[in-house]
A and B are shown apart, each in its own frame.
Chain A
């Protein structure tokens, strides 16, 4: 894992002191709210419905046991004993007091964490494939490059006042687990025919009120050119992105209004001037960062296969969990464990302080001290021996974290919605809880299905890219839920289509069940997933079942 050097430590420590002073001046009245607001946002502090909210960065979703325990400690000491893992691999506390923020940030700095650039019109926390460094299918670990981008983008003087926020995601595998085509810039690490490392570069993707799939700017950008090319894109965006209308200020609007070819031409022209200059990444620098992310020393544990086989025979619960929540690791005696934060009827992404501690203990005992946060609001132990899986399952079960539902219908993404968020128009959490309870019994039969729920058009709950997406809106003082079908966040990126009029809060779960029933009735075999069936069938039969045949014909 990356460890802070002297520069990082000083930078974060200086920020804690600076923000502590700003909070003190705000509380004394020396700063007005108008003056303070941009300062608090630069440090991840929002004001929500019931209290302030603090969004803590978990760079590329990687943390160790000590850091997780610190989050648990903060949850207990300054909050109500829990935290919320988000779709940007961050952690949000829902109840901290403004007066406690300096103390919380000081605690975080003690474990090399912070809340810098988790808000504001800057380059946000860089996200990455949550299986990075462990997945059998990756070309290389994307996190060293995410770390290079973190260092480059932190308090970057040219890019601290962009037209709007800017999100970057990196993956090292062709199979996209990081939704890179729905980011301002998405990077896919790959090897060319000569075996050299580089990136496919996607630009101009995003969700929100105008969902757009990113266009490919480069099929192969050599790794040494990463920062020069990023700078070229950001520079074109910073100069030409709209500042007159915040709803049209993201780079996706610039790309679609100007035309992808023209924007790429301008980026390439800018890049020509920058390449081979000070921004070129020397091999030695890349290697130095890569050294921090060197895989742990995997010990051969060939006994795991037999042990796991016996445990499956002994315990059906373990067997189901193994099938859903354990993924192939690049080392044959090892595995990747997805820890579901989606127990039946629970709040997606919420974890109690006790659960955080339990995960930290398991990571330390069995997982080379590594934990990941996934954008699907689950946790991951990326490196565990197969022989330890039964013990890990037991530990997770004790902590209430052994739900065997990764990728199933109850593995729902939901934003905090109107239960917490000042921007929300409708609740998302209770809809997720209701659906989870209704679908739990038959989710194994339904198979792979991604349901994603947002409480407003900003789409933190990724509704546009759910196989089934739900968007909550406010209508006549009440909640109304729009249903979208056919979205997909992966390499076969698609934006879901709205199938018809919205549903009331009492109807939406039933509508989702209706859509699922259509799928079950029409699938060619249990092997044909919901999204595959939807792509084959189109919207008509779903629309007919949801609204009647007259509506389907309209």
Chain B
């Protein structure tokens, strides 16, 4: 399973592509691709958004579903989804709709 991630151009915020084709700043709201076709569809939408200069650094990342929540396989992506592990007061983990801890 994969989700599509990027950084927002204007402020660099880590974002994920949601089902309504908008970019969401919590990974929980990301649209999950369960097969290669779905992944390609996400990538195409992301590429169009990149060309429209909404985001940069667009990437498909591998995830698991753990207790119904999206958990990236790589630590790097888990940290992007949460924030610096030494600063729980910063990044997405500090916000009310906290992402999973890295």
Contact = CB atoms under 8 A, between A and B. Distances in A.
A97 B76 contact: no
B12 A477 contact: no
Interface string B78-91: 01100111110011
A98 B9 contact: yes
Contact of B11 (A49, A52, A420): A52
B86 A429 contact: yes
A101 to B, nearest CB: 11
Interface stretch (A25-33, A68-76, A227-235): A25-33
B80 A50 contact: yes
Given A47-B7, A80-B90, A97-B11, A29 B75 contact: no
A470 B83 CA distance: 23
Interface in B1-46: 7, 9-14
Main DSSP-derived SS at the B contact region: loop
B85 A427 contact: yes
Nearest to B82: A50
Contact of B10 (A27, A424, A474): A27
A418 B90 contact: no
A176 interface: no
Given A52-B11, A97-B12, A99-B10, A47 B79 contact: no
B52 interface: yes
A430 B12 CA distance: 24
Contact of A479 (B7, B75, B86): B75
Nearest to B54: A29
A414 to B, nearest CB: 10
B69 interface: no
Contact of A98 (B12, B50, B83, B86): B12
A419 interface: yes
Given A347-B86, A419-B86, A48 B12 contact: yes
Contacts of B14: 49-50
A86 interface: no
Interface in B47-98: 50, 52-53, 56-57, 73-76, 79-80, 83-87, 90-91
Nearest to A429: B86
Interface of B: 7, 9-14, 50, 52-53, 56-57, 73-76, 79-80, 83-87, 90-91
Given A29-B53, A98-B9, A479-B75, 6 more contacts: A26-B9, A47-B56, A51-B11, A99-B10, A419-B85, A478-B75
